[in-house]
Structure 1
Amino acid sequence: MMFRAKPVLVACATVVLSLATGTAAYAAGGSSGAQVRYAKQGQIGEVVTNPYKIAPLTAIIKNGGYQLTGVTVRIVPKPNGSEIKYMVDDSELRTHGGIPVFGLYPDYVNTVEVSYTRISETGERKAISEKYTLYAPPVNTEVNGTVSMKSTMFKTCVVKSDPKFKDRLYLVNNLLVSPPKGSRVIWNNPAGGALEWSFYPQNAIIDASGEVRWYLNPDSIYDMASVYHAGVMMGFQQGKDGALTWGYGQRYVKYDIMGRKIFNRRLPISYNDFSHSMDQAQNGHYFLRVASSDVKRADGKNVRSVRDVITELSADGRVVDEWRLFDILDPYRSIVIKSLDQGAVCLNLDANAAGKTLSAKDLAEQDKSDKWGDITGVGIGRNWAHVNSVDYDPTDDSIIISSRHQSAIVKIGRDKKVKWILGAPDGWKPELARLTLTPVDKDGKPLKCEHGACENTDFDWTWTQHTAFRIDEKSDKRFIYLSVFDNGDGRHFEQPALADMKYSRAVIYKIDQQKRTVQQLWEYGKELGHKWYSPVTSLVQYEADKDSIMVYSATPEMKLEHGKAVGAPNPYLMEFNYGSKTPAFEIRILGSMGYQAMPFRIQKAFHHTDGNL
């Protein structure tokens, strides 16, 4: 028997739009000029959602022609959710033409409480508190058409939550596999370059409950089919003015959290292939990890270099200085490169090469060839350094870099001279080996170390590490406290007998620059073994506001099988009270290729300390 479905009847009320009432009218203009007559909920202007096209979970409540001051915004949390509440400077109100609203839940009818003083054209001041009801749409990002990829936003699971961190917001900088529309675009001049790394962006801000409260929809500023508008979005930092800086491919950019463009610039022509690190320095300049567009090698060949140049740019984009690391370090030091797992060389994942290493013969044959680009090897024009962070030290006008493929952290002065190397002394030229720091115990006694290993101690160097950050609040001109993520591949210059013997660590070092020693103060991760092992990416960073260490183990549980990656990693996002070996806060990011993460400070974005930024 067949049943015919009954039609669904919807009762429709007739709506009369009158030009005489501002709240019900949707027309604009007219004989009186550019008067705005859009619907509005409250006592000022209309609501504009996603005002700058790249931040869908934001909105602006327009000022309605009034002057506003003394603004506070609160997003009413979901049951048992995390509250977002912030004050807004008058400068931000003027910049956005109204009240900026940040932190809407996606696919949800949000209640937004605002309080403000409204100043009329006659100078009358009226204190107002009111509620707005704002719907924000679901997260909408790129998909590849497969049923298994219905949503490209990661899921989260809160493992541990300390009340001290209940107000935290975290910016998570992750990556997605390139969808087909962009995966065929590779810059073959020669093979390799930024578009070989054209992963699709997955950048979001989550609250302490694990809910997405902001995400970047890059469509209007990103084009996977364009050499100059694609690449991997990396190196996010929140500056003193609260805005975000980062880079991707051939660009470096600055946007505020509402999505307003401050600048979006192509790299200076001398350089190409930004990735990993853009440091907003204390001197107001930007330090970018790039590569040289054209280098004349000693053999007379012209090549593009690979991830081995630091350029310093002024606020207006002029090149102030550069550090050409192939002239400063040794691009032929191969002891680390010969120990790397070729299946996971940073983001270049090749399961067919898992566990394999390069021999001296392999490197010698490679160097005789014209194989250039993003390949692990020695010599200018190959990925010999793979610098993944740069941090400016204002006490002596120097930079601190992390070189993954040298398993070394290096401090270099304005004069381009190496000040010290934190890493095993093996394999360096004598003049550089002399600059390696001496490991000491808590009493300052030198430790016995050979072939990258130190006996009878917990001290270890870092191996294929990421993020060597100076802890400014604890450091001075003599002593440097350094936070590092020790990924752990090629530990002690070898691959272990079994892959699951590898482990990663979050580490804090103390460097005495006068005595030229290094002491390991704290570590976490070794005791967890392989389950916490991140072969690539990740971050460790000190947070002064809570005297804590934030750790992002970004690629644990990544599996490589039958020539491809099987399943996405499940990153750990943690915060530790300084000195503690037990995390006070922990969120798992489920099913996502992690790069880095950091706390995002909402008050910094909207309520500047001097009121003039």
Structure 2
Amino acid sequence: MKKLFSSVLVTSMLLSVGVNSAFAMGGASGANVNYHKQGQIGETVVNPYGIAPLTAIIKNGGYVLKDVSVEIVPKENGQKIAYTVSKRNLLTHGGIPIFGLYPDYLNTVKVSYTRVHNKKEEKINETYKIFTAPLYNEVAGIDMQKSTFFTKAEVKKLDPKFKDRLYFVNNIVEKSGIGTKVVWNNPIGGALEWNYYPRNFIIDTTGEVRWYMLPSKIYDLETIYQAGVMMGFKQNDNDGRLSFGYGQRYAKYDILGHKSFNRRLPSNYNDFSHSMDDADNGHFFIRAASSNLKRADGKYVRTVRDVIVEVDENGNVVDEWRLFDILDPYRDSVLKSLDQGAVCLNIDASKAGQTISEEELAKLDDNDHFGDILGSGPGRNWAHVNSVDYDPVDDSIIISSRHQSAIIKIGRDKKVKWILGASEGWSDKFKNSLLTPVDNKGKKIDCNEKGVCENSNFDFTWTQHTAFKIDEKSKGDIIYVSAFDNGDGRGMEQPAIPSMKYSRMVVYKIDQKKKTVEQVWEWGKERENSLYSPVASLTEYQRDKDSIMGYFATAGTVFDFKTGAFLSEPNPTIVEFEWGAKEPSVEIQLFDTTGYQAWPFSVEKALSK
């Protein structure tokens, strides 16, 4: 009786909503796709992989699509984003990938495509309306943070040649009470060197955000193996995808969030940060550290930012560069001149302007004091390698060692090819590798062992970030290298007044055979302290526009020298120059955001290849 009553009730309900509605829900008509569709193909899916909210896919609707082009119609006085879509991307995403939507906005998107069905081809032009949610990012809960990404972007200069630029910005949210609970030196426990929530986004040349990462699907600030600082972002040349790392992981995704891989570091290594370089053969060169090293004195330590690991496309370790074996981890000349208030991301404002003494360095060994601290010897922050660049011409790597204030090239045989840096403290083993500064006529420039060069504009780099070979300008033994010279400890000393510090972008011409170096371009010195960036930042050549791009990532921080407190987040500046130019073609300043690196993003690489 109950079963009969239930059957009658269900039948009555179906009749009350109507036969057509029942069919639309997949009734007697069979399986039916009834998503809302705007055009002549499939449904629109916003944030298709959960980590890129300003992207979408217009699904193919069961058709074969080809000859696809997309245009994101700009706001008034905005920047148009337009691109074609490759077959690879159409098949991977099952439809038309949409990139560059404005946040919290009803976007207008124009698409053009050829639709193929039963061998019949039809050319279609359509307009879609796609609404997006407001920008969202986790916050640190501190009074310094005033915005999700930045309070404003001021475009100070823009040459028409660069108006189509998009800049990928790799920033971080300041320390939070959640993240610091798993940081191993703050003060104990955990297994992460740093733990700051990601703040990654792309802006156009009007200052609008056109993409950002919502990392919650792949990131957890409270979980050791899912957290850390996202760094080392690079758009791979071979497929336009983004490679990067964080904490104990390294990863690769496309701009819509489609995963190539997201792997734990091989167990012999730990603590990724700063740099991950891709090679043409699919290998990656990862800046990590040793999980367990037995020192010459028999002590076991976990090292700090001093190992380069080469992995193949499947994650197998191919080779390693153990810098504590290759270089001299006890060279402390630079360490004694550094501002302890700005030891890269381990910023301690209370120690601003202070340096470490010979006696304090010696006590570290006596007390078995190891960890992410300024000090010499394996198990301490003696090298602080912040970039690695693979040179396929001679199968070598070029590294930037912040705490040696040196740019160094090392071969596959683990032998040093050359060192660009001041001569003080290098043992006899390395003296023949030191590059000799020369002028544009090849004449030797007189520089003392502390790197001070009289009667010349030549200067070495000091606590630099990023050292990249410029392949397009290099030929044979003559190579060009760009670097961001942060400028702390310039000339192996702290200046009399902190405001005397400055940062600069610089390009060197190196004769690898003659072991000479010429400074061919610099910029930033003329801005004095206004762009001084004590940590982070980038200088890199851009072949598409024959330009040099720079990011002064930690410039403009308001600092109270009396109390040792930071009063604001930095106000980073993006600049881009035509090759050899003395003034920038682009200058964009972001306000209230802590920067790491930024670089031009290519939508063509990402979606058209």
Structure 1 and Structure 2 fold alike (TM over 0.5)? yes
Which aligned pairs between 1:160-171 and structure 2 lie closer than 5 A?
A: 160-171=157-168
**Cα drift, residue 28 of structure 1:** 5.6
> Relative to structure 1, is the Cα distance of residues 596 and 26 closer, same or farther in structure 2, using a 3 angstrom cutoff?
farther
**Cα drift, residue 368 of structure 1:** 1.6
The residue that corresponds to 2:517 in the other structure is: 518
**Cα drift, residue 74 of structure 1:** 0.2
Code of the residue aligned with 2:382 in structure 1: it is W
> Relative to structure 1, is the Cα distance of residues 30 and 509 closer, same or farther in structure 2, using a 3 angstrom cutoff?
farther
| Counterpart-to-counterpart distance in 1, 2:473 and 2:30 | 59
| Counterpart-to-counterpart distance in 2, 1:573 and 1:605 | 22
Code of the residue aligned with 1:125 in structure 2: it is E
- Secondary structure at the residue paired with 2:456? coil
The residue that corresponds to 2:244 in the other structure is: 246
- Secondary structure at the residue paired with 1:180? coil
- Secondary structure at the residue paired with 2:363? helix
Which aligned pairs between 1:62-101 and structure 2 lie closer than 5 A?
A: 62-101=59-98
The residue that corresponds to 1:399 in the other structure is: 397
- Secondary structure at the residue paired with 1:546? coil
Code of the residue aligned with 2:43 in structure 1: it is E
Match of 1:213 among 203, 210, 215: 210
The question of whether the paired residues in 2 share the 8 Å contact of 1:206 and 1:213 is answered with yes
| Counterpart-to-counterpart distance in 2, 1:190 and 1:430 | 39
The question of whether the paired residues in 2 share the 8 Å contact of 1:351 and 1:565 is answered with yes
**Cα drift, residue 31 of structure 1:** 5.0
| Counterpart-to-counterpart distance in 2, 1:145 and 1:388 | 29
Which aligned pairs between 1:136-151 and structure 2 lie closer than 5 A?
A: 136-145=132-141, 149=145, 151=147
> Relative to structure 1, is the Cα distance of residues 27 and 543 closer, same or farther in structure 2, using a 3 angstrom cutoff?
farther
- Secondary structure at the residue paired with 1:449? coil
The residue that corresponds to 2:297 in the other structure is: 299
| Counterpart-to-counterpart distance in 2, 1:145 and 1:295 | 38
- Secondary structure at the residue paired with 2:182? coil
| 2:44 counterpart of 1:50 | no
> Relative to structure 1, is the Cα distance of residues 347 and 194 closer, same or farther in structure 2, using a 3 angstrom cutoff?
farther
| 2:567 counterpart of 1:566 | yes
Moved more, 310-319 or 87-96: 87-96
> Relative to structure 1, is the Cα distance of residues 411 and 148 closer, same or farther in structure 2, using a 3 angstrom cutoff?
closer
The residue that corresponds to 2:322 in the other structure is: 324
> Relative to structure 1, is the Cα distance of residues 411 and 146 closer, same or farther in structure 2, using a 3 angstrom cutoff?
closer
The question of whether the paired residues in 2 share the 8 Å contact of 1:243 and 1:254 is answered with yes
| Counterpart-to-counterpart distance in 2, 1:532 and 1:237 | 24
Match of 1:277 among 275, 278, 282: 275
| Counterpart-to-counterpart distance in 1, 2:144 and 2:427 | 51
Q: Note the alpha carbon deviations across 1:135-170, whole angstroms, 9 max, x for none.
A: 111001112456875641113111101110011111
> Relative to structure 1, is the Cα distance of residues 148 and 197 closer, same or farther in structure 2, using a 3 angstrom cutoff?
closer
| 2:238 counterpart of 1:237 | no
How many residues are aligned here? 589
RMSD over equivalenced CA pairs, Å: 1.9
- The list of structure 1 runs, each at least 4 consecutive aligned residues, that deviate by more than 6 angstroms after superposition, is 16-19
| Counterpart-to-counterpart distance in 2, 1:35 and 1:198 | 47
Code of the residue aligned with 1:119 in structure 2: it is V
**Cα drift, residue 566 of structure 1:** 1.4
**Cα drift, residue 412 of structure 1:** 0.3
Q: Note the alpha carbon deviations across 1:375-394, whole angstroms, 9 max, x for none.
A: 00001000000000000011
Code of the residue aligned with 1:363 in structure 2: it is L
> Relative to structure 1, is the Cα distance of residues 73 and 496 closer, same or farther in structure 2, using a 3 angstrom cutoff?
same
The question of whether the paired residues in 1 share the 8 Å contact of 2:185 and 2:193 is answered with no
**Cα drift, residue 370 of structure 1:** 1.3
- Secondary structure at the residue paired with 1:184? helix
Which aligned pairs between 1:552-591 and structure 2 lie closer than 5 A?
A: 552-561=551-560, 562-591=563-592
| Counterpart-to-counterpart distance in 2, 1:336 and 1:343 | 15
| Counterpart-to-counterpart distance in 2, 1:588 and 1:26 | 57
- Secondary structure at the residue paired with 1:203? strand
Q: Note the alpha carbon deviations across 1:297-349, whole angstroms, 9 max, x for none.
A: 01101100000000000011000000000000000000000000001110111
The question of whether the paired residues in 2 share the 8 Å contact of 1:142 and 1:179 is answered with no
Code of the residue aligned with 1:390 in structure 2: it is V
The question of whether the paired residues in 2 share the 8 Å contact of 1:349 and 1:565 is answered with no
| 2:119 counterpart of 1:123 | yes
The question of whether the paired residues in 2 share the 8 Å contact of 1:372 and 1:382 is answered with yes
Moved more, 380-389 or 27-36: 27-36
Moved more, 181-190 or 577-586: 181-190
| Counterpart-to-counterpart distance in 2, 1:319 and 1:172 | 30
| Counterpart-to-counterpart distance in 2, 1:235 and 1:179 | 22
**Cα drift, residue 192 of structure 1:** 7.7
The question of whether the paired residues in 2 share the 8 Å contact of 1:549 and 1:576 is answered with yes
> Relative to structure 1, is the Cα distance of residues 189 and 370 closer, same or farther in structure 2, using a 3 angstrom cutoff?
farther
Match of 1:40 among 37, 41, 44: 37
> Relative to structure 1, is the Cα distance of residues 147 and 407 closer, same or farther in structure 2, using a 3 angstrom cutoff?
closer
- Secondary structure at the residue paired with 1:367? helix
**Cα drift, residue 283 of structure 1:** 3.3
The residue that corresponds to 1:181 in the other structure is: 178
- Secondary structure at the residue paired with 1:527? helix
| Counterpart-to-counterpart distance in 1, 2:262 and 2:496 | 47
The residue that corresponds to 1:480 in the other structure is: 479
Q: Which runs of 5+ in 1 are unaligned?
A: 1-15, 609-613
The question of whether the paired residues in 2 share the 8 Å contact of 1:26 and 1:38 is answered with no
**Cα drift, residue 18 of structure 1:** 8.4
> Relative to structure 1, is the Cα distance of residues 190 and 108 closer, same or farther in structure 2, using a 3 angstrom cutoff?
closer
The residue that corresponds to 1:605 in the other structure is: 606
| Counterpart-to-counterpart distance in 2, 1:62 and 1:19 | 29
Match of 2:255 among 254, 257, 279: 257
**Cα drift, residue 193 of structure 1:** 7.6
The residue that corresponds to 1:505 in the other structure is: 504
The question of whether the paired residues in 2 share the 8 Å contact of 1:26 and 1:39 is answered with no
The question of whether the paired residues in 2 share the 8 Å contact of 1:465 and 1:485 is answered with yes
| Counterpart-to-counterpart distance in 2, 1:215 and 1:558 | 24
| Counterpart-to-counterpart distance in 2, 1:72 and 1:217 | 26
| Counterpart-to-counterpart distance in 1, 2:183 and 2:578 | 44
**Cα drift, residue 33 of structure 1:** 5.0
> Relative to structure 1, is the Cα distance of residues 170 and 365 closer, same or farther in structure 2, using a 3 angstrom cutoff?
same
Q: Note the alpha carbon deviations across 1:338-374, whole angstroms, 9 max, x for none.
A: 0000011101111110100001111011122211110
The residue that corresponds to 1:11 in the other structure is: none
| Counterpart-to-counterpart distance in 1, 2:25 and 2:306 | 55
Q: Which runs of 5+ in 2 are unaligned?
A: 1-15
Q: Note the alpha carbon deviations across 1:583-612, whole angstroms, 9 max, x for none.
A: 01111011111100011100111111xxxx
The question of whether the paired residues in 1 share the 8 Å contact of 2:23 and 2:30 is answered with no
